[in-house]
Amino acid sequence: MPLYMDRHEVPDATAEQVAQAHARDLEISAKHGVQFLSYWFDADTGEAFCFAKAPSREDLERSHMESHGLMPHEIISVSENNVLQFLGKINDPIDHTEVESPFRIVLFTDLEGSTSLLQAVGESEFMVLLTEHDLIIRRALVASRGREVKHTGDGIMASFDDVEHALKCSVAIQDGFDTRTREGATPELRVRIGMAAGQPVQHNDDIFGSAVNLASRICDAADAGRILTSDVVRDLGTEKGFPFDEADERPLKGFADPTRVFELLRTGR
């Protein structure tokens, strides 16, 4: 049976009210062949997100309509693997005290000059270097509670529950490559990093599609050895005491207008 995530706009709702609506979903769901697996609620944005198995989108809508009348504003088809990679272990909250926010920070890394490097050293040596590259990044991810979403060939996409963990991870990654260079390893490996943040269903057909697209394009715009973030990540990071450079407007592929990005400063914190 297909898996879906939906988004409900519930301004001014409390976690307890959302939990009650979910309980009503569970009561009526079997009538429509729907199995509700979990839900998330972001009180800051007034949005709730359901994760469910259903014969169709229409069955999911009918179940919501009959149980409480709160119709979803967006419904997308998802894979369980993607949900796990972005959101982590899936638990159906017992009550409103266990409800979690689905807001995530998405991080991309990209190895500078990977094609030229492959041509220069050959495939066997390149794979050795890529393994070393992956190890530096994955060590930082484990230490910072990040989840690897996928390997992009010459980089990694990861998801974080917390902006502080994401920013610390990005610094640890760059520090790791700097240490490798100081120790005399050759050829030098340098990566660029881009970060954005958002909700799982946001006016597109892919889970975290908007945040993934923005983070990827910001990564493309970053210089090797640098860390660039979106304005949302910068605002949240500033609240945690992380230093950033002044805003810089960069043209990003797929975006009509230049986008404000911020460089995370690795010193001074």
pTM over the 0.85 mark: yes
Judge if the upstream peptide bond of residue 11 is cis by omega within 30 degrees of 0: no
Residue 254's pLDDT is 87
What is the pLDDT, as a whole number, of residue 269? 41
Residue 208 has a pLDDT of 96
Class of domain 104-263: alpha beta
Q: Where are the chain's structural domains?
A: 3-98, 104-263
The two three-digit tokens of residue 37, written as one number:
């697996």
3-98, CATH topology level: Alpha-Beta Plaits (3.30.70)
Same CATH fold assignment for domains 3-98 and 104-263: yes
Handedness of CA 242, 244, 247, 251 (dihedral sign): negative
Tens of pLDDT along the chain (269 residues)? 999 999 999 999 999 999 999 999 999 999 999 999 999 999 999 999 999 999 999 999 999 999 999 999 999 999 999 999 999 988 888 888 889 999 999 999 999 999 999 999 999 999 999 999 999 999 999 999 999 999 999 999 999 999 999 999 999 999 999 999 999 999 999 999 999 999 999 877 899 999 999 999 999 999 999 999 999 999 999 999 999 999 999 999 888 889 999 999 987 44
Q: Which amino acid is at 183?
A: E
pLDDT at residue number 205: 81
What pLDDT was estimated at residue 176?
Answer: 98
Contact present, 87 and 5 (Cβ < 8 Å): no
Give the N- to C-terminal CA distance of the chain in Å, as an integer.
Answer: 49
Burial of 174 (0-12, 13-18, 19+ CB in 10 A): buried
Beta-sheet strand order (sheet of 191-198)? 147-151, 156-160, 104-111, 191-198, 227-229, 259-263, 248-250
